[in-house]
Structure 1
């Protein structure tokens, strides 16, 4: 048990020894470890947020709209514009970040006797959602290039009969996109697959986490385009990443009305504050400004990937995983990635030790931050080579 938790407290037995999730939060000149959009909202956006909040401030003695209808309408308008998907308000649901959306998914569809299936390596919070809801977490391993191993995943679905199949596009921490053909195969399998611990005629929910989808290459469709054809599909999104709104904590889900109604059962009363709803609506009024740096960050990703491939670690070129996100997983053969992390941190650059052994992850920052990252990493690699 953590030294800060007295042994006399009745912490759940399965939580004893566990540590809170979270990337390091350090005051450093170059912070490239949590996949944020590095560009602050424009002053006009800030003014709109302040005006919206000021407008609702006199009503803060009352509870907010627990169904956040206006915000769900904004989600629908945005998805129609961004992905060409026409959805009704009752097919959308918001929460305090996509983390809360995912927790609600596990609360609604997981639980004792239920199984959730993911494809590793993937987001390290997924097994924690499972732990917190007493859901069994299982994985089907990805291919060596981190693409989805469809045959292995389908075999696992047939063997385990999960209630939740959790996929990611792009995947975190690898950045790997999800092939739409692969997704359709899994959706078709799940449409008739029974669920362990559930009644007859119950089938798995397929959840696609699209937290970083706006960084995909142009022309790549969103999984949300398949919702009309697949009532067992749910697509999770966030305003935290491309939309440059991480501090506001706004995530949302697009799915059939039936799936949304399941989430409504487990949501906390009035879970989205009036201030959060007002700020998000103001941001959607400035969608162009909020997304104005996405193309540049995508170009930065490609330039950084090309540069990383020219670098060596102990005589071997660095590997770089294919990414459709705003981050890159690189290395592949770091035998002491903790040292690389510390050396970079000593130079004021914070990245992330995450993913399979031998790999590290860096998110895309401003041009100045990326220049400092390249300078620092090149210096660290020279030191390690010596």
Structure 2
């Protein structure tokens, strides 16, 4: 007798709200052009890779010890990167922005509490709520995917949510909220407000960050990630800036030693190389704008994006279009409102391959609303 028993999932005493659920996961397929999960297509340079290797070697020398529990040195580096007068006490870090958001809802959500966002938005948000037993509520955006501030304020006054969560630039639409809109939400919210700026570095020049609002609002937090602009998706490092008391609340719910010594070490290397790591952001921003203009010339709708991806449509059968692109070696994302697809911005060669594939597909693709 070897191995384990082999029950079906339905044989196990799973929490009722998890029955029938599927694990999160965008397709990970081996195709020539990967434009589906908003990764930065440019890998680290040889110099950065060498420094990461040395940092891992140094960390390995003390691997028999637990890592620095609160990642103070890393948080200090992150505070310096963000600027705005922030200090180590203002910053929290975790394994990707996913864990940061789970900490937020673990501290401020939970049974009998609610979280509100503005749909369509990031598909993982309701899963964070589900996993923390937080009631999940949504209010629709306008048809152009901008915030309907009047509706948002009325909804906040009626619902009185414990957490208001706004992605800006928003995923999957790429649209950003203006700073005065975010300020209005902060004025109205009875609980905490989290502005998710995962794609902030890709916003158009002159875009103001919600970091400017932190001195005025003690219940505001602004989350970021190193996965996108820093080309550090494999490093799994997300972070948040807020008042020290807000950070202390997250420290209560985090698991002990949640950030490994290796994660802390390599993230500090990436931050030390910030100018180099961020150099491709301008290139990707230009490619995004060019790709957005091209999509519009095809007669498709393309949401105005301040991120490193574009939502475009509308198709009567988006899955068919997605599959036909995949058949041509181009993987994009079937996400967002019905009829829309999302493409990440890649290298010039990858973007050209996407354009060529879509050009072949469009003549047979039925548009939503076509007779």
> Above 0.5 in TM-score?
yes
Alignment partner of 1:240 is 2:227: yes
1:335 alignment partner in structure 2: 316
Are 1:19 and 2:18 matched, yes or no? no
278 and 169 in structure 1: CA distance in 2 versus 1, 3 angstrom threshold: same
Q: Deviations over 1:117-162 (max 9, x none)?
A: 0000000101111111111000111011100011111111111111
Instruction: Write out per-residue CA displacement over residues 67-123 of structure 1, whole angstroms, 9 at most, x where no aligned residue.
Output: 10000011011001xxxx111111100000000000111111111110100000000
Shift of 1:384: 3.1
Alpha-carbon distance in 2 for matches of 1:56, 1:24: 33
TM-score normalised to structure 2 length: 0.96
RMSD: 1.3
1:385 Cα deviation after fit: 6.5
Question: Are positions 1:368 and 2:371 aligned together?
Answer: no
The answer for the alignment partner of 1:64 in structure 2 is 67
Q: Does 1:290 align with 2:274?
A: no
Q: For residues 213-268 of structure 1, give each alpha carbon's deviation from its aligned partner in whole angstroms, at most 9, with x where no partner exists.
A: 00001111111111111101100100000110000000000000111011000000
CA distance in 2, matches of 1:230, 1:245: 30
1:211-222 superposed matches below 5 A? 211-222=198-209
TM-score (norm 1): 0.92
| 2:183 equivalent in structure 1 | 184
| Counterpart in the other structure of 2:155 | 156
Deviation at 1:4, TM superposition (A): 8.4
Correspondence for 1:55 among 51, 54, 58: 58
Give 1:106-255 correspondences, 5 Å limit: 106-190=105-189, 193=190, 204-255=191-242
Partner of 1:319: 301
Contact 2:95 2:259 survives alignment (8 Å): yes
CA distance in 2, matches of 1:19, 1:53: 34
Q: Which runs of 5+ in 1 are unaligned?
A: 194-203, 312-316
After superposition, the C-alpha distances for 1:279-333 in whole angstroms (9 at most, x for unaligned) are 001111111111010001000000001100111xxxxx200101100000001x2
Alignment-derived partner of residue 280 in structure 1:
267
Aligned partner (choices 353, 358, 361) of residue 377 of structure 1: 358
User: How many angstroms apart in 2 are the aligned matches of 1:169 and 1:128?
Assistant: 19
Tell me how far apart the structure 2 counterparts of residues 4 and 34 of structure 1 sit (CA, whole Å): 33
In structure 2, C-alpha distance between the alignment counterparts of 1:365 and 1:71, rounded to whole Å = 29
Task: Note the residue ranges of structure 2 that are not aligned, 5 or more in a row.
Answer: 1-5
What is the aligned partner in structure 1 of residue 103 from structure 2? Answer: 104
Q: Distance in 2 between matches of 1:254 and 1:223?
A: 10
Question: In 2 relative to 1, CA 223–385 (structure 1 residues): closer, same or farther, beyond 3 Å?
Answer: closer
Q: CA deviation at 1:382?
A: 2.0
May I ask how many residue pairs the two structures share in their alignment? 362
